[in-house]
Amino acid sequence: MKHLLLPALLLFAIAPAVPAQAASWTPDQAHSDVEFSVLHMSLSNVHGRLGHVTGIIHFDPADLANSNVDVTIDVNTIDTGEGARDAVLKSASFFDVEDHPAATFVSTKVEKTASGLAVTGNLTLRGVTKSVVLAVEGPNGPVTGMDQKLHAGFTATASIDRRDFGIGASFPPGIIGDQVQLSIDLEIVKQ
């Protein structure tokens, strides 16, 4: 048994040294979401999340200019832990999920930074598209998952102004802060 374990350990030890290659990946929906926080009445932050992230990520670590992201987030999955508040957030005053059930992010540029990656792209919420820059950490991995496929992970953050997208337009900043902090955890699966 010992003689079989050594080759496996050697393979594991040299695996990170193998250069990463360009590949297409999809979000692992069970392990990917968008979390947000916004100031309420200048007193405390309200936190929520959006799940059901779908799309395609093409990651080329050798040439980041060839990398791109095209994802869709189901806004109907909004969850702040308060059903009544979630219903208001789904209304026409906020996300208007009846007419705009999904948010999208399509990258326009991926570049290396001192702390990771900067992914610039077009974020569409409520039918309004604005350029957003995501500060991205990662990739973490890849590692082989229980499905025997390679998985990798990224964490991204950004700040957006809700007014740019017409979200809660009738609510003054004294009630709801203008800046919304986004934190995105994305586990991706190699296709």
pLDDT of residue 33: 94
Looking at this protein, which amino acid is placed at residue 51?
G
For residue 34, which of 155, 190, 123 has the smallest C-alpha distance?
155
Number of Cα atoms under 13 Å in the Cβ half of residue 32: 22
Alpha-helical (H) ranges within 52-189 are: 83-90
CATH number for the domain that contains residue 88: 2.40.128.110
In a domain, 5, yes or no: no
pLDDT over 60 at 13, yes or no: no
For residue 103, which of 76, 81, 82 has the smallest C-alpha distance?
76
3-class secondary-structure state, position 87: helix
In a domain, 12, yes or no: no
CB distance 82 to 75 below 8 Å: no
For 162, which DSSP code? G
pLDDT of residue 7: 35
For 6, which DSSP code? H
In a domain, 20, yes or no: no
In a domain, 2, yes or no: no
In a domain, 44, yes or no: yes
In a domain, 21, yes or no: no
Peptide bond into 139 cis (omega under 30): yes
pLDDT of residue 165: 95
Give the C-alpha separation, 165 to 189, whole Å.
Answer: 31
pLDDT tens-digit readout, 120-142:
999 999 999 999 999 999 889 89
pLDDT of residue 19: 39
Which residue range(s) make up the domain with 180?
A: 28-190
Burial of 37 (0-12, 13-18, 19+ CB in 10 A): middle
179 pLDDT band, cuts 50/70/90, is very high
Question: Which residues lie below 8 Å from residue 102, measured CB to CB, with a gap of 6+?
Answer: 72, 73, 74, 75
In a domain, 47, yes or no: yes
pLDDT tens-digit readout, 49-106:
999 999 999 999 889 999 999 999 999 999 999 999 999 999 999 999 999 999 999 9
- Average pLDDT in the chain: 88
pLDDT over 60 at 161, yes or no: yes
pLDDT over 80 at 176, yes or no: yes
Question: E strand or H helix at 10, and its extent?
Answer: helix 2-14
In a domain, 10, yes or no: no
20 pLDDT band, cuts 50/70/90, is low
pLDDT over 80 at 37, yes or no: yes
Q: Count how many domains the chain has.
A: 1
pLDDT of residue 14: 32
